[in-house]
Structure 1
């Protein structure tokens, strides 16, 4: 089985298309993160401007304490929202890359199966046992890869969700403690 110039050109076109697709996925991920950074920066500038205006209007210590309490409460929630948005953007990009890799593994498995079939057609008599052993080994490797990939995705997803949930509950607990302490210090 020889590779003809037409087949070689077809392979080059396929690989070029895959390279373009991977590049577009990477650029899309970068674009999501940059846009998110720009939104966060604009929001921070606007909030800082408002806080500076509010600070200039403070007349006493109680007003300063109240301003501090009002500023910290939404900041924690916004920080969690930003972290969640970054996670979602990164996860979306990772999922797109995983899809490309999965498609490539399926294509490779198909190519290996075709190669084994061709090998079987042109193999000398009596080699059926060896070819069947190769087929079995390839099928077992593909099944193992599939199981490991699914398990790794499940574990990664579970760990990430647990981490986000733990961070959120910790941040809310800190925020609650902070809210309780601030009024007490303002009254003292």
Structure 2
């Protein structure tokens, strides 16, 4: 009924492996985010230099309006792509952590169930009701956790759909405004 030193060692080893897995996932996400940020900064710097050169070569107001309107759309599209990439990295990181935590919770539940079964075998007569009540409470807690987990996944899916719709609307709105600005200048 009591844990042995080997059981403590196995538990500690499993916990350390879990922490290392979480740390590796966090570092991988940070690495991807840093690479994205560096690449985005490089692209915006290069585009800024090219755009400045193009604007400096302008000869009249009509050409300025035309060039300015053609420069806006790609910049907005790149910002939307950047935001989408950050969102994807965050979502993937959250999924990795969720899967790991679900595995940990399953292991804890398995351990508790095994401990309850062992305790029930060595418990005095009449304690069946208490063991059944604890098992029922654990089942209810697991059911509540599963329900909350499913609800959180649905909220994440809705949020992802909303982000996709908002980014699409933003790109379309900028394109429409750009076309309207070009027509006014003409």
TM-score class, shorter:
over 0.9
Between 1 and 2, higher relative CO (CA 8 Å, sep ≥ 6) is seen in: 2
Higher mean Cα deviation, 41-50 or 154-163? Answer: 154-163
Mind listing any 5+ residue stretches in structure 2 that lack a counterpart?
A: none
Kindly provide the CA deviation profile for residues 120-172 of structure 1, in whole angstroms up to 9, marking residues without a partner as x.
Answer: 11110111122112212211211221122111211222123223313421x13
Higher mean Cα deviation, 129-138 or 160-169? Answer: 160-169
Higher mean Cα deviation, 38-47 or 7-16? Answer: 7-16
Instruction: Tell me what 1:133 maps to.
Output: 133
- SS at 1:2 equivalent: coil
Instruction: Tell me what 1:73 maps to.
Output: 73
Mind listing any 5+ residue stretches in structure 1 that lack a counterpart?
A: none
The CA distance in 1 between the partners of 2:143 and 2:126, in whole Å, is 28
Kindly provide the CA deviation profile for residues 34-90 of structure 1, in whole angstroms up to 9, marking residues without a partner as x.
Answer: 111011001001101111221222111111111101100111111111111110011
Instruction: Tell me what 1:8 maps to.
Output: 8
The CA distance in 2 between the partners of 1:185 and 1:166, in whole Å, is 27
1:1-188 aligned within 5 A: 1-169=1-169, 171-187=170-186
**What RMSD in Å do the two structures reach over aligned CA positions?**
1.4
- SS at 1:11 equivalent: helix
Segments of 4+ moved more than 3 angstroms: none
The CA distance in 2 between the partners of 1:111 and 1:3, in whole Å, is 12
Q: Tell me the matched-pair count.
A: 186
Give TM-score, length-normalised by structure 2: 0.93
